[in-house]
A and B are shown apart, each in its own frame.
Chain A
């Protein structure tokens, strides 16, 4: 495979020291801001993590470098920059375990691969059980994940307490903690850095990242895609990938495709920063809470989805209140900390809570979307598999189960229970 290599100013402590001598005046741009060309070999619509990862792996793994990522706003500005940064691969079904663990494996070497520190912090992810049903379901997952060759443990309340001394495991709380699954390889990463790292590495391989350029139409001729109309003119390409979380249906509709996706607001928030107090990621489906502490010291908290369809990137107050009541139940010491900032994103959800990474009825047009509330953790795996699909015009075994036709065949991958967010 021919790789277009271009000199990259490598990031390192050495380069940092050398640049310090010149007051950091000589750093190269992390990525260019090129004008769109008239023609590319492939276009990726959407400059979020998944789109940028797709471009990177198209260039790196498939030698396809005359490609453009077209972004309506600023790269990484959608759900990539709005999530709670949790990474894990503790999924029930084989199909899910395979692609999410591929993503986790790629994450484990991503800082070095991209030469951009994404601050992957494998501090362990716990999913709590609060009733007998939860216990049964979590154990089912723990066993399935283990037999899929992925690290997975079940913890008793005492073991949970040992790992997280500040959690309240007393039987007297409204929904006592009865156990937890633990994936030690799970954790968090710096979400912006994932987008920026992929952008920089893709740019270095020749990919044009075109921001502030909105796609307004998808051009087709005789059942195959020929390019896109944008606010900065027509751009032609024989292959177009739609990777526009939050607006997947909108873009698909431009090509006459109706997707079984509904879009909801999902909120997240951070507290004021405090010295380290919580080392692991704690998630609870039953009482709806997920929380971790960032390297800056903020508690990063996620709420549930709002129960209505929306494209506004903000949600309702009561959803936040329910979530924070759950946090106060599990961590009564957090009651006096304060929320510093909260925000919303739009999540595209499929009926089976699993994504679409697929060819479409339009030849040369591909869709990667429908990741619901949990796309961030899949970013590199998703991009890797989607790049394969776009380059070869056939899905990789990893994403073959995520084809659009599963909604007609019925071969669904029901992962409702996998998200901490109740659908």
Chain B
């Protein structure tokens, strides 16, 4: 459903992604782990065209996205259309501070697809219920905790009825006690069959929820496998080094880390 073909991206002299290829099946939940600066977030941002790759293609549902047949960039309107079909959740939520929670969730259908107001307001209400925040509908983001804001951000992305969801370190900016609620929402989403790509440091969550884990380092996918294979029997030396450095500073095994939540 999402295919990444030979993606390369650099910022000035710094190469962030080197020839990254990857194929994600419909309904698959993919965890992306790796040290900071390894290109995980950039990969995600390229899938949604928030970054323009230097070379390579993003293919969504069999069609090359963001480019025409000759490889030229599509119009801003066409790019926006494709972006709207893939939801994205950011580390720092980026809720619109001048809109209420309900208005945030409605913003996609209201300003992009322009569906009927009663329809999208009703749907936004249902989504808020799903993330457990119905009673916050008329408050402003600044009145919510980080965990609540992130759940609103997830609802806002879901309101566009995306074909897939991209999560860019969704819990990294949260106080530890707020992480669980956000992960619970993501888990129900995964259980409901949503295609998801999750960049995260929550190893326990990845182990429990992901069908597949990618380990990235220095702009490349170093290892790609099931959570069991990657966490328990890492094939690459770099993967082992990364996992052991994580385990040594948390002092916990990945499974237990997530099981408590």
Q: Do A and B bind each other?
A: no
A contact residues vs B (CB 8 Å cutoff): none
| B interface residues, Cβ below 8 angstroms from A | none
